[in-house]
Structures are given as structure tokens and as C-alpha cells.
């Protein structure tokens, strides 16, 4: 449940590499559907960055449009499918919300996505809640309903250079999940950011761009 404001603290550094296009992850009935919609609005060739659920979409784009994707950066994401327990929990949350008012993500949910040191960071907690409010009830229900079937068995189909970025204190996506991405995608690299939870672009923007921007620059030099 993040808007493009998720990237506000890193956008100026990323723009040093080239112009930025934000994909719309709010529409679509499946990961593949969202990916196909995004491709229609993408440049002829591009580097692709996917965060959390966006990582699932980004990998699908990298498979569908392999000749156009020059590089892939996967941040705080996974290739695992939802567990039966997660599916049940999401279905329950969706049903409850259909008959009630959406007040944004709860504080408890938000704190699960943050490093413990940010638990009392009122501005950061509110920023995450604000993104969920801006997206609204309908988008929340659609995203909860999206099936994450997992693509561990298809990671080998990704042919572009790939950087996997994980947070050491991510409670939502574990380091073993990041390692699965590294080992599953040919020649992928894994870097770990310390002292951050799941919301890397907000919690550790400097550390994130300090890893991603040099990697993209080096890759661009090699490609040219």
C-alpha cells in the first residue's frame, strides 16, 4: 500500500541515472495483468526497480519484456507464494473492510514494516499511513485479493543483471527469501542494509541509493 511518494527521498539520486517513470500498481486483477499494463507505458529500454509487491510485478515484466529490461533491482521482496494462513488472513481482512470504513493501515501493521528504532517516529508512521489512505479502500481490497503464486521455479528465466537489496531487520521479508532470489536469478547480487526494516526507501534512503546508484552506473558503463 504505497504511492509513488514512497520514493520521494531517493528520487533525486535515481534521476542522476536517467528519467524516472512510475508504474501504476493499483489497477489490474493479477500480477501478470499489472505487469502487462506497465509495459505499455514503459520506455523502449529501461532499468527496473521493484519494491515489495512491486518486486513480483518487476520480475514478471523482466520475463515478458526481457529484450527491453537492461537491469533489475529488487528491494525488500520475495519469490515465495502466499502461505495458506496468509491467504485466509487476507480474505478475512478484505471481507471485514467491505462492510466498514477504511481508516488506513493500523499502527500495529505499520510498525511491523519498520525498524524498532522508528516505532516512535510519528512522522514516519503517519507517512506510511497517509499512503494507504491516499490509495483508499478499493485499492486495498484489490491488492489484498492479488494472488502471489510465487515464482521460485521461474527465477532462472530472468536474464538481465539483477541486484537484490534486503534489510537486516525486515519483519515482512526475511534474509532467506532474499537469498532465494540471489541464488535463483542467474548472476544476481545480494546486498543487505543494516538498521532498517521493510520500508527501505523511507527508513534508509541514503544507504539504499548508495548501493543502487553506483551499481546502475557501473552497469551502464559496461553496457556502453
The DSSP secondary-structure symbol of 190 reads E
- Is 64 in the same domain as 95? no
- Is 159 in the same domain as 198? yes
Does the pLDDT value for residue 161 go beyond 70? yes
Collapse the DSSP code of 90 into the 3-class scheme (helix H, G, I; strand E, B; otherwise coil) and give the result. helix
- In 3-state terms, the chain is what percent helix, strand and coil (to 5)? 50, 10, 35
Q: pLDDT band at residue 28, thresholds of 50, 70 and 90?
A: confident
Contact yes or no for 123/115 (Cβ under 8 A): no
Amino acid 224: pLDDT? 63
**Average pLDDT for 45-69:** 97
Model confidence over 121-159: pLDDT tens digits?
999 999 999 999 999 988 888 888 888 889 999 999 999
Total structural domains within the chain: 2
- Is 192 in the same domain as 97? no
Amino acid 89: pLDDT? 81
- Is 112 in the same domain as 34? no
Domain containing residue 169? 4-82+148-223
- Is 56 in the same domain as 31? yes
Amino acid 126: pLDDT? 97
Distances (CA, A) of 70 to 63, 73, 196, 219: 12, 10, 28, 9
pTM for the predicted model, two decimal places: 0.95
Cα dihedral 147, 5, 169, 58 sign: positive
- Is 175 in the same domain as 140? no
Contact yes or no for 49/13 (Cβ under 8 A): no
The residues, ordered by sequence, that sit 6+ positions from 25 with a Cβ below 8 Å of its Cβ are 34, 38, 53, 54, 57, 143
Query: In whole angstroms, how large is the CA radius of gyration of the chain?
Result: 17
- Is 101 in the same domain as 211? no
**CATH code, domain carrying 74:** 3.40.50.1820
* Weakest mean pLDDT among 64-73, 167-176, 182-191, 215-224: 215-224
Collapse the DSSP code of 191 into the 3-class scheme (helix H, G, I; strand E, B; otherwise coil) and give the result. strand
Amino acid at each position: 500500500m504505497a504511492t509513488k511518494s514512497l520514493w520521494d527521498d531517493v528520487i533525486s539520486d535515481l534521476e542522476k541515472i536517467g528519467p524516472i517513470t512510475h508504474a501504476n500498481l493499483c489497477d489490474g486483477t493479477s500480477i501478470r495483468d499489472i505487469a502487462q499494463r506497465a509495459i505499455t507505458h514503459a520506455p523502449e529500454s529501461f532499468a527496473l526497480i521493484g519494491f515489495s509487491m512491486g518486486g513480483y510485478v518487476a520480475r514478471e515484466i523482466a520475463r515478458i519484456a526481457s529484450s527491453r529490461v537492461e537491469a533489475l533491482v529488487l528491494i525488500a521482496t520475495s519469490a515465495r507464494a502466499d502461505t495458506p494462513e496468509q491467504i485466509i488472513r487476507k480474505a478475512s481482512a478484505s471481507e471485514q473492510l467491505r462492510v466498514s470504513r477504511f481508516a488506513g493501515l493500523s499502527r500495529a501493521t505499520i510498525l511491523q514494516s519498520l525498524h524498532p528504532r522508528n516505532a516512535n517516529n510519528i512522522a514516519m508512521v503517519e507517512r506510511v499511513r497517509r499512503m494507504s489512505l491516499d490509495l483508499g479502500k478499493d485499492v486495498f481490497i484489490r491488492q489484498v485479493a492479488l494472488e502471489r503464486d510465487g515464482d521460485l521455479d521461474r527465477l532462472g528465466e530472468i536474464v538481465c543483471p539483477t541486484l537484490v537489496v534486503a534489510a537486516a531487520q525486515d519483519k515482512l521479508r526475511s534474509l532467506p527469501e532474499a537469498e532465494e532470489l540471489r541464488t535463483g536469478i542467474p548472476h544476481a547480487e545480494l546486498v543487505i542494509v543494516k538498521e532498517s526494516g521493510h520500508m527501505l526507501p523511507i527508513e534508509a534512503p541514503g544507504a539504499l541509493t548508495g548501493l543502487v546508484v553506483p551499481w546502475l552506473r557501473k552497469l551502464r558503463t559496461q553496457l556502453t
